[in-house]
Amino acid sequence: MCRAGVHPANRTSPPTIGVVDTRQELQPAQRPSEATALRRTLHQRGLRMTPQRQLVLDAVRDLGHATPEQICAAVQRAAPAVNITTVYRTLDLLERLGLVRHTHLGHGAPAYSEREHQHVHLVCHGCGQVVETPKDLLADLAARLQDELDFDLDVTHVALSGRCPTCRRADEFGEGDRDE
């Protein structure tokens, strides 16, 4: 059936329901070249750019490190019809394309961030705080693993668990991790 006098064969993209055109909602930090790069990468792989894909990538960039559920909530503010399954599939695709990557910062769902983030995460067992530190901190360990085990450590997105200074001080005063 033809709608608004446009024959389906002449339509540039299928109609979408409940999806916002992100071209009108670009954040100031997002450069048009980023959307163009994603569109080109998808096209080279025989895939098309969809508003949902752009919204998910924008949410990852805006949130920094976020779980799929947090990303979904951000996407749903602009496009309520997008569901968690779409977000998971899109994150998987974006990771295969090298645009995002995930890290396990503790128990539960992985956190996704832009591939360009290159740092070590220090995750506190007590309060859950995540601190980003330069990857140089692991240079000696990476060199030793390479020399002794011929193992090439990827230090660009590592999470180390421990206790932050605040939680350690609370432990010293008997305030940490008490069952009340």
Asked if 155 contacts 138 with a C-beta cutoff of 8 angstroms, the reply is: yes
- The C-alpha angle with vertex 66 and arms to 62 and 68, in degrees rounded to 5, equals 110
10, pLDDT greater than 50 = no
Q: Among 5-14, 27-36, 47-56, where is mean pLDDT lowest?
A: 5-14
108 Ramachandran zone, left/alpha/beta (phi>0; psi -120 to 50): left
Other C-beta atoms closer than 10 Å to the C-beta of 178 total 7
**134 forms bridges with which residues in the sheet?**
119
Q: Residues spanned by CATH 1.10.10.10 within the chain?
A: 31-115
Band (pLDDT 50/70/90 cuts) for residue 56 is very high
Band (pLDDT 50/70/90 cuts) for residue 92 is very high
- Which residues touch 175 (CB under 8 Å, ≥6 apart)? none
Q: What architecture is the 118-180 domain classified under in CATH? A: 2-Layer Sandwich (3.30)
- pLDDT at position 46, please? 86
| 141 vs 8, residue with greater confidence | 141
Asked if 109 contacts 68 with a C-beta cutoff of 8 angstroms, the reply is: yes
Asked if 86 contacts 100 with a C-beta cutoff of 8 angstroms, the reply is: no
Q: Residues spanned by CATH 3.30.1490.190 within the chain?
A: 118-180
- pLDDT at position 116, please? 64
Closest to 157 measured CA to CA, from 114, 125, 95, 96: 114
Closest to 120 measured CA to CA, from 167, 82, 158: 158
- pLDDT at position 37, please? 74
- pLDDT at position 180, please? 42
CATH topology of domain 31-115: Arc Repressor Mutant, subunit A (1.10.10)
- The encoded tokens of residue 149 equal 């085990």
> Can you give the C-alpha Rg of the chain in angstroms?
21
The full 3-state SS of 47-96, as one line of letters, equals CCCCHHHHHHHHHHHHHCCECHHHHHHHHHHHCCCCCHHHHHHHHHHHHH
Q: Which residue has the tokens 């508003």?
A: 51
| 135 vs 22, residue with greater confidence | 135
Instruction: Give residue-wise pLDDT tens across range 161-171.
Output: 899 999 999 98
Instruction: Give residue-wise pLDDT tens across range 136-175.
Output: 889 999 999 999 999 998 877 678 889 999 999 998 887 6
Q: Which residue has the tokens 């859950």?
A: 128
Instruction: Give residue-wise pLDDT tens across range 29-51.
Output: 444 556 677 788 888 888 888 99
